Amino acid sequence: MGGVAVARLEVHEEQARAGDGRGSDEGRAARGALWFATNSIVVKGAQTLVLLTLAATLAPSALGLVALGTLVVNVSAILGNLGTSGALVYWRGDVTAAARTAVTIGLVSASAMTLLLWFAAPAMASALRAEDGGAAVIRGLVVTLPALAVAAVTQELLRRELRFLRRVVPEASGALVGAVVAIVLATQGMGVMSLVAGQVVQGVLTLLLAWVVHPPVLPGWDAASARGLLSYGAPFAGANLLEVLQLNVDYLLVARVLGAVALGQYSLGFRIAYMPYVLIVLVVTGAAFPYLCRRRGESVGHAAEVVLTVLTALLAPLVVLSALAPEQLMLLGEKWAEAVSVLAAMALFSWVLGLTQAIQVALNASGLPGVAMRLRLLHLAGLSAALLLTVRGGVVAVAWTQTVVTAATALLAVALAARLVAGFDPLRWVRSLWPVLVGSGAAALALLAGDALGDATGLAAVSVLRTVLLTLAVLTSYAAVLWLTRSAQVRAAWAVVRDAS
């Protein structure tokens, strides 16, 4: 059965690369964005269902425990392979020897990390004021780190080859099965351990399916490859680690200063505000990275401008919804009232964070991962200092601090790109955004009109029907403006996607 699945994937990929320009880097990157989008919708959609199920069935303090456990495993996953799997996408030498070396590094470092965290879990839970079940959550989540490290090598090899369909199958399938397990167990009263069980199933299944769509990469060792992988991968992993810390230092401080209940409120608002970044920014930049790595000279900067414009256009209507209709989050219950204010304060967060991410991808593709890492470090340092001053003001003050500091970092990233990324012109990029601004204004007016109509007709202020109607009003009005102002570009983009699909 596995051979049949691989054969079908091979036929699909060969057809996608054949004829009519479908094998071009641009077309393959566009196709990659589609597959990344599909994967992200499946994976993050499944995670969101689990999150909403837990939010509806658990107290805010329990959701805070989930947030802390997830933070530990995210940091550990990055340290588990020291950036060597990501370095394979950029690798210029013998990729086979490099991949086998990366598997060895990942297995050793991830196994060591698992053992360290297993024994340190009680102390970590105590330090984060999560003594009631925190150690069990941490231990349960880290046991799959070696499997994830090995699977990451295969997935990054497929991304290097722009074989995105194969890449998404293991992750998407594992996420779906893991989500089903978690939701079923949560409804049976297992609490936060249902998430742990789902994550274990997801990690093991992801590795097994990675070996179905691609021959297993066996451990090996080549000293020159190890030096090269670590030379590029260390700052690459460092930037990713700093990003995770930057995205979670607020969790640590809220947990330590304000407690688990406040962390649960903040975590829900933050996760909803962060979702557009996960579903859109990481999709677009994930597909763009191997494409940008193949560009030379000023074409890197021109391509980076296109990526930034696409991100802004896709994120704009979601920013409008978060800013003007955050109260719809109360569908999960009155207990989440404070999370509404957090979501409103972070309406711009995904966009400004997305700008920074896209520019860091351009810096990595330009052979400057060290600059990207230093930008992350500066962001983390500035955010940490600001949060120490504001955290005692409550979770809404923390949310505003995240947004403001991230926006300042995005401005710095744009300035760095203007200097270091060949061909990047920030003024030209800003001038290209006027249709997005007009469309956002139209979307905001449509939402306000829909709100007024709902009040006039007696529709409940917070309801599934009202949420759906407001979302449709925003999306249709925004899309209409973009079509009227940029119909030629929309048709051209659709032609690329159609030819690449």
Residues near 49 by Cβ (< 8 Å), separated by ≥ 6?
A: 179, 183
pLDDT at position 316 is 92
pLDDT at position 263 is 82
pLDDT at position 139 is 83
Mean pLDDT of the 224-240 span? 75
Mean pLDDT of the 60-79 span? 68
Instruction: Read off the amino acid at residue 431.
Output: R
d(CA 12, CA 402) in angstroms, rounded, equals: 43
| Nearest of 402, 443, 410 to residue 429 by alpha carbon | 410
User: Which pTM value belongs to this model?
Assistant: 0.66
pLDDT at position 41 is 67
pLDDT at position 59 is 63
**Shared-domain flag, residues 384 and 467:** no
Q: What is the pLDDT of residues 336-356, one digit of tens each?
A: 888 889 999 999 999 999 999
| Nearest of 259, 241, 289 to residue 72 by alpha carbon | 241
- The two structure tokens encoding residue 198: 């789902």
**Shared-domain flag, residues 181 and 193:** yes
**Shared-domain flag, residues 116 and 19:** yes
**Shared-domain flag, residues 84 and 117:** yes
Among the candidates 386, 417, 432, a domain finishes at 432
Minimum mean pLDDT among 12-21, 44-53, 315-324: which range?
12-21
Contact between 56 and 269 (Cβ < 8 Å): no
**Shared-domain flag, residues 373 and 253:** yes
Q: What is the pLDDT of residues 128-162, one digit of tens each?
A: 666 566 778 888 888 888 888 888 888 888 877 77
Q: What is the pLDDT of residues 153-169, one digit of tens each?
A: 888 888 777 777 777 78
**Shared-domain flag, residues 77 and 214:** yes
**Shared-domain flag, residues 271 and 326:** yes
When comparing pLDDT for 163 and 223, which is higher?
A: 223
**Shared-domain flag, residues 360 and 500:** no
**Shared-domain flag, residues 239 and 357:** yes
pLDDT at residue 397 is higher than 70: yes
Among the candidates 432, 448, 466, a domain finishes at 432
**Shared-domain flag, residues 359 and 469:** no
pLDDT at residue 500 is higher than 70: no
Structural domain for 472, as ranges:
435-501
- The two structure tokens encoding residue 387: 């949060």
Residues near 108 by Cβ (< 8 Å), separated by ≥ 6?
A: none
pLDDT confidence band for 253 (50 / 70 / 90): confident
**Shared-domain flag, residues 32 and 150:** yes
Instruction: Read off the amino acid at residue 178.
Output: G
pLDDT confidence band for 442 (50 / 70 / 90): very high
Among the candidates 416, 432, 448, a domain finishes at 432
Number of structural domains the chain divides into: 2
pLDDT confidence band for 27 (50 / 70 / 90): low
**Shared-domain flag, residues 298 and 274:** yes
Contact between 446 and 473 (Cβ < 8 Å): yes
Q: Residues of the chain with pLDDT > 90: what percent?
A: 15
